[in-house]
């Protein structure tokens, strides 16, 4: 689908002469690489969410912080908007360019600047791949905990922009819990330092504000991350169930026992079969659902927790519980889960990946309602969950070549997100709002809350030059949708009030 932001943002985005801007960039910033031909620009039309596309006016690829600052100063002077992009693996259209804007690609700032194994920290540039940090820290027995499924490709700068998580975020937290310091370039080219390597920093916690801000407040040019010691013992259990609801209930029961797994993931039968055909992880393909539960820590503690988790799983109705026999099998179990998205891509011409978060106790209910919505819209849904923290990733299967299927997929995705809000959840856990979920922002937040978001944006970017048209809807847009805020601070279903 082609989306012209020019039409959506009339009166906001100025019309810019492309060749004049190209000339200014080349003259004012020596050594800056600028892409401008159609052949050069087409690869940057979308991020990992390829449903929406727009060709940027120009693409710039800075090699250092000074060039980033110079680009921001020039863009601010000329009045041209800027969208920052990392590796392009995002799944909400947040890094999709503007047809009348500059796409600022940070991929060439890809150096690990310093790694201190004694302090347990690393200073890295935003283009460094997530997994590269752990690879660099491995000789010291350290690693970087947040591990999105796209970690072999996604960049740490993009992780900060979306506050990414991963399969181990239940125990070790999201990006915001694993970073200490950010260097940020403002819309006017000023360099800011947020946070510090100390345990606490005076003043407002602006680092947390920037983490997950989706490139709307500034451009991240350096990140200081925490490194953790690898646990001495790690064990993964794989439990199979004949009903999805039993697996969902088992998740809540494990947490209720006071056990905090390093990871607790759930897959339904469609995603199980797709992953097994693709990866050959050893999954039971006849199961309606599986849970992957990883326990780590000291050997004695792990042995005790594994025994307790096995008891909980069988009591919840597990048909079989297998413990990975060795490190190779543990890696295979996780490889199937981490490759679930591309695996599903092998069984459908297209799929639409959603990202909502719900209270764990509502997993069974939401899965049941999602199945009903799937039948109503006539589209299959494969379910993959960060079940431990209620972060769900329904994959809606469709064929964009079939008239109306894309529109039905979008509508079904919106209904699933609204369902998340109805049960006390949120429309995103780690993929962000971007272009994809901007309408659902009207569902989750009321007018006062949206005005507050706009006030924060204006404090850092008063002319709305950083990633305009994304993330925060205008009040006019929400009014056109009928003021869809769902529960006005009240839980909508009486049966949920007891929670």
Q: What DSSP letter does each residue of 391-411 carry, written as one string?
A: EEEEEEEE-TTSTTHHHHHHH
Kindly list the distances between the CA atom of residue 406 and the CA atoms of 22, 47, 345, in Å, as whole numbers in the listed order.
36, 17, 15
First to last CA, the chain: 41
3 state DSSP class of 221: strand
Asked if 386 and 439 touch (Cβ cutoff 8 Å), the reply is no
- The rounded distance, in Å, linking the Cα atoms of 472 and 441 is 7
pLDDT of residue 9: 55
Tell whether the model's pLDDT for residue 409 goes beyond 90: yes
Average pLDDT over residues 117-132: 98
- The rounded distance, in Å, linking the Cα atoms of 377 and 384 is 19
Average pLDDT over residues 212-219: 97
Tell whether the model's pLDDT for residue 418 goes beyond 50: yes
Q: Tens digits of per-residue pLDDT, 265-275? A: 999 999 999 99
Backbone angles phi, psi at 63, to 5 degrees: -110, -10
Q: Tens digits of per-residue pLDDT, 169-198? A: 999 999 999 999 999 999 999 999 999 998
Q: Tens digits of per-residue pLDDT, 86-103? A: 999 999 999 999 999 999
What domains does the chain contain, in order, with CATH numbers? 18-105 (3.30.43.10), 112-229 (3.30.465.10), 231-345 (3.30.70.2190)
Asked if 175 and 190 touch (Cβ cutoff 8 Å), the reply is no
Six token digits for residue 343: 């695996």
Place of tokens 């916690």: 205
- The rounded distance, in Å, linking the Cα atoms of 337 and 331 is 10
3 state DSSP class of 461: coil
Tell whether the model's pLDDT for residue 484 goes beyond 70: no
With CA atoms as reference, report the closest residue to 268 among 240, 238, 236.
240
How many Cα atoms within 13 Å fall on the side-chain side of residue 189?
12
pLDDT of residue 496: 35
With CA atoms as reference, report the closest residue to 395 among 436, 354, 340.
354
Tell whether the model's pLDDT for residue 495 goes beyond 50: no
- The rounded distance, in Å, linking the Cα atoms of 83 and 9 is 15
Query: Could you tell me which residues are beta bridge partners of residue 268?
Result: 289
- The rounded distance, in Å, linking the Cα atoms of 405 and 481 is 22
Sign of torsion over alpha carbons 145, 146, 152, 153? negative
Tell whether the model's pLDDT for residue 117 goes beyond 90: yes
pLDDT of residue 15: 80
Asked if 48 and 149 touch (Cβ cutoff 8 Å), the reply is no
Q: Which residues, 6+ apart, have CB-to-CB distance to 340 below 8 Å?
A: 149, 267, 271, 274, 275, 382, 384, 395
Q: Tens digits of per-residue pLDDT, 340-382? A: 999 999 999 999 999 999 999 999 999 999 999 999 999 999 9
- The rounded distance, in Å, linking the Cα atoms of 94 and 162 is 9
Sign of torsion over alpha carbons 268, 274, 280, 286? positive
Tell whether the model's pLDDT for residue 5 goes beyond 80: no
Asked if 323 and 244 touch (Cβ cutoff 8 Å), the reply is no
Q: Which residues, 6+ apart, have CB-to-CB distance to 2 below 8 Å?
A: 53, 54
Chain centre distance of CA 283: 26
How many CB atoms neighbour CB 415 within 10 A? 16
Backbone angles phi, psi at 192, to 5 degrees: -120, 145
Radius of gyration of the chain (CA): 23
Confidence band of 483 (pLDDT split at 50, 70, 90): low
- The rounded distance, in Å, linking the Cα atoms of 10 and 474 is 13
pTM of the predicted model as reported, rounded to 2 decimal places: 0.92
- The rounded distance, in Å, linking the Cα atoms of 329 and 271 is 19
């Amino acid at each position: 689908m082609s989306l012209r932001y020019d039409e959506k943002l009339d009166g906001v985005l100025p019309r810019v002469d492309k060749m004049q801007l190209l000339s200014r960039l080349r003259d004012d910033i020596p050594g800056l690489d600028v892409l401008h031909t159609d052949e050069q620009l087409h690869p940057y039309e979308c991020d990992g969410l390829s449903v929406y596309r727009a060709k940027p006016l120009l693409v710039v690829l800075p090699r250092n912080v000074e060039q980033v600052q110079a680009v921001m100063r020039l863009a601010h002077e000329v009045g041209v908007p800027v969208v920052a992009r990392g590796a392009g693996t995002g799944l909400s259209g947040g890094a999709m360019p503007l047809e009348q804007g500059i796409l600022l690609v940070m991929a060439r700032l890809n150096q690990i600047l310093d790694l201190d194994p004694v302090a347990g920290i690393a200073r890295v540039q935003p283009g460094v791949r997530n997994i590269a940090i752990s690879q660099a820290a491995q000789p010291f027995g350290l690693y970087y905990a947040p591990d999105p499924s796209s970690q072999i490709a996604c960049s740490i700068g993009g992780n900060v922009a979306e506050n990414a998580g991963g399969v181990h975020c239940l125990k070790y937290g999201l990006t915001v819990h694993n970073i200490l310091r950010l260097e940020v370039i403002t819309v006017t080219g000023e360099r800011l330092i947020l946070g510090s390597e100390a345990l606490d920093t005076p003043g407002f916690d602006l680092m947390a504000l920037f983490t997950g801000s989706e490139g709307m407040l500034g451009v991240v040019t350096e990140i200081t991350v925490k490194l953790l010691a690898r646990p001495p013992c790690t064990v993964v259990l794989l439990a199979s169930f004949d009903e999805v609801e039993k697996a969902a209930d088992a998740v809540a029961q494990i947490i209720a026992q006071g056990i905090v797994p390093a990871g607790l993931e759930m897959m339904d039968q469609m995603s199980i079969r797709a992953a097994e055909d693709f990866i050959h992880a050893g999954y039971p393909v006849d199961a309606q659902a599986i849970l992957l539960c990883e326990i780590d820590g000291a050997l004695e503690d792990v042995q005790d927790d594994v025994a307790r988790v096995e008891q909980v799983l069988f009591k919840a109705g597990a048909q079989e519980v297998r413990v990975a026999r060795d490190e190779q099998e543990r890696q295979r179990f996780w490889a199937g889960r981490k490759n679930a998205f591309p695996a599903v891509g092998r069984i459908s011409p297209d799929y639409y990946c959603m990202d909502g978060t719900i209270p764990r106790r509502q997993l069974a209910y939401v899965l049941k309602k999602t199945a009903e919505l799937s039948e109503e819209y006539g589209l299959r849904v494969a379910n993959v969950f960060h079940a431990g923290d209620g972060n769900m990733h329904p994959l809606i299967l469709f064929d964009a070549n079939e008239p109306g299927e894309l529109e039905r997929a979008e509508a079904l995705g919106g209904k699933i997100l609204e369902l998340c809000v109805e049960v006390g959840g949120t429309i995103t856990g780690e993929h962000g709002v971007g272009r994809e979920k901007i309408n659902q922002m009207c569902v989750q937040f009321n007018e006062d809350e949206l005005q507050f978001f706009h006030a924060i944006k204006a404090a850092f970017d008063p002319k709305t030059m950083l990633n305009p048209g994304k993330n925060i809807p205008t009040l006019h847009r929400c009014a056109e949708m009928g003021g869809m805020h769902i529960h006005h601070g009240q839980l909508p279903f009486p049966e949920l009030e007891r929670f």
